[in-house]
A = this chain, B = another copy of it.
Amino acid sequence: MKAFIISVGDELLIGQTVNTNASFLAEQLTKYNYEVVKISVVGDDEQAILDELDYSVSLADVIFVTGGLGPTHDDITKKCLQNFFDKSLVVNPEVLNDVRLFFQKRGKTLTKINEDQALVLEDATVFRNLVGTAPGMLNEKNGKFVITMPGVPFEMKSIFENSVLPYLTEKYPQNKIIIKQLNLLTTGIAESILYEKLGDLAVLLSGAKLAFLPNEFGVKMRITVTASSEEEAESKILEIEQKIRAIVGRYIYGKGDATIEEVVARLLIDRGLKLGVAESCTGGLICNRLTNVPGSSNFFERGIITYSNGAKVELLNVNEDFIHNYGAVSLEVARQMAEGVRKCSGTDIGVASTGIMGPSGATENKPIGLVYIGICDDKICTAKEFHFGDDRILNKIKTSQAAIEMLRRYLLGIPYDE
C-alpha cells in the first residue's frame, strides 16, 4: 500500500514548527509495511489543500492529512474535505458527547464553536479523540482513503495509535515481507567504545542491520531484520540480541521504548525497596523522572531539593565543615547528602546529586559539568565523579541519567567501572 502524508499549517511553512507529525507517521507507516511515497506541507489555504488532495490520490492508496481541524477561523481542513468528497457535515452524537464530557470534566463552559468539533463528514469512519476535542476521520473516494487527524502532536499520536492503526491493521492484514526492529538501550558508554567492543559487525549481524543512535540519554542500538515470517524474524532478532548482550550487556538498561526510570522503578517495586532522593544541581529532575512512572508511590518516599547550603545542613544533616573544606560540589558532600536523605526518610536507599550545571558557578578547580553522585544503603555509602559538558539543560539530563543508572547498577550488582 502506498501512503502520502499531507501536513497542513502556515506554522510549518514559516518554519515556526518542525514537522515531527510527518516523521512520526512516516516511521509508523514504514514499520507497518506502507510505502510512504511523498510528504508535503501546505498552508492554511483552501485551493492549496484541494490541489494536494487531488494530486495525492493519483499517487497513493491512503492519504494522511494532519492539521487544520481546530475550532478557529484558520482551521479549514474540514471545509476542504467537504468540497473534495462532495459531502455535507453532520453532527456525530458520540463525538458531541466526548466534547461535552471533555469540557465538563475541566469545569469549563462549552460554546458553539466547541460543539462544532462534533461535525464530521457524512459516511466518515470516526476515530475518537481521547485527549482533545477534534476527532479523526476516514473517508473513501474511488477506492482511495483519506485519513484526517488534528495537528496537535499528542492528539494526533493518540488517535493514530489508539484508533487508526488498529483499524488499518484489521482492514489490511500485513504484507508478506516481515520487517522487525528492536532497540537495545544503553547508557554510560560512548558510541565509539560500544562500536569497538562489538568487534566485527558483519560476523555479529549475518545480514541484519545495526544502527547506533546516540542522544542525551545514551546510545540506542537499533537492530533491523527482514524475514519471510514472524517466527523467522523473531528468532533472527533474538539471536542477535543475545550475541550483543553477551558482549555489552551490562550497559543495556532496557529495550524498545523503555525508559531507565521504568526499569529502575520495576526493580525497586519487585524487591519492596524504598527510595529517598536528595538533589542539588539537578533541581528536581531525578525525582520528576522517577515519579513519571505510574505507581511510583510504591517505592518513592520523598525528595529533598537542597539548592542552598543551609538546606543541605538543615534537612540532610550535611556537615558544615565539609561544605567549607571540600565545597558543596564534592565527593564527600554527595555521600553525606545520600546518607542524609536515606536516614531522614527511613528508606532503604538514598541517592544524591551535586554539581555545577552552568552557565555560572565554576571555580578555578571546579569547571562547569563537574558532577558528583552519591548512593548509599545501610551498609555502604559511595560516590562517583562525572564530567559533562557546558549546556545547563543537557547537564541536568545527563546527571539525572547517570544517577538513575548508578541506582540500576547498584540494584543489579554491576560495578560502575567507567
- In the complex, A369→B106 CA distance in Å? 9
Q: What is the minimal beta-carbon distance from A47 to any residue of chain B, in angstroms?
A: 11
A17 at the interface (CB under 8 A from B): yes
**Contacts of A258-307 to chain B: CB distance below 8 A:** 277, 279, 282-292, 294-297, 300-307
- Contact of A20 with B22 in the complex, beta carbons under 8 Å: no
Provide the residues of chain B in CB contact with A37, threshold 8 Å: 13, 43, 48
- In the complex, A55→B24 CA distance in Å? 26
Q: What is the minimal beta-carbon distance from A308 to any residue of chain B, in angstroms?
A: 5
Least CB separation from A24: chain B residue: B15
Among A188-196, A238-246, A373-381, which stretch is in contact with chain B? A188-196
A382 at the interface (CB under 8 A from B): no
Q: Most chain-B Cβ atoms within 10 A of its Cβ — which of A113, A192, A290, A390?
A: A192
Provide the residues of chain B in CB contact with A139, threshold 8 Å: none
Provide the residues of chain B in CB contact with A131, threshold 8 Å: 389-391, 394
- Contact of A392 with B12 in the complex, beta carbons under 8 Å: no
Interface footprint category on A = 35 or more
**Contacts of A201-219 to chain B: CB distance below 8 A:** 201, 209, 211-216
Q: Most chain-B Cβ atoms within 10 A of its Cβ — which of A72, A284, A294, A315?
A: A284
- Contact of B24 with A195 in the complex, beta carbons under 8 Å: no
- Contact of B284 with A302 in the complex, beta carbons under 8 Å: no
- In the complex, A282→B288 CA distance in Å? 7
Among A25-33, A163-171, A329-337, which stretch is in contact with chain B? A25-33
Q: Looking at the complex, which one of B13, B105, B195, B283 makes contact with A288 (CB distance below 8 Å)? A: B283
- Contact of A284 with B288 in the complex, beta carbons under 8 Å: yes
So how many copies of this chain end up in the complex? 2
- In the complex, A18→B19 CA distance in Å? 7
A23 at the interface (CB under 8 A from B): yes
Least CB separation from A311: chain B residue: B302
**Contacts of A59-91 to chain B: CB distance below 8 A:** 70-74
Provide the residues of chain B in CB contact with A325, threshold 8 Å: none
Provide the residues of chain B in CB contact with A193, threshold 8 Å: 108-109, 111
- Contact of B394 with A154 in the complex, beta carbons under 8 Å: yes
**A interface residues (Cβ-Cβ under 8 A, vs B):** 10-20, 22-30, 36-44, 48, 70-74, 105-109, 111, 113-114, 130-131, 152, 154, 181, 190-193, 195-196, 201, 209, 211-216, 222, 277, 279, 282-292, 294-297, 300-308, 310-311, 315, 345, 358-361, 367, 369, 387-394, 396, 418
Known: A11-B222, A279-B287. 10 other contacts (CB 8 A): A12-B23, A13-B38, A18-B23, A106-B387, A283-B288, A283-B300, A284-B286, A284-B288, A284-B289, A285-B288
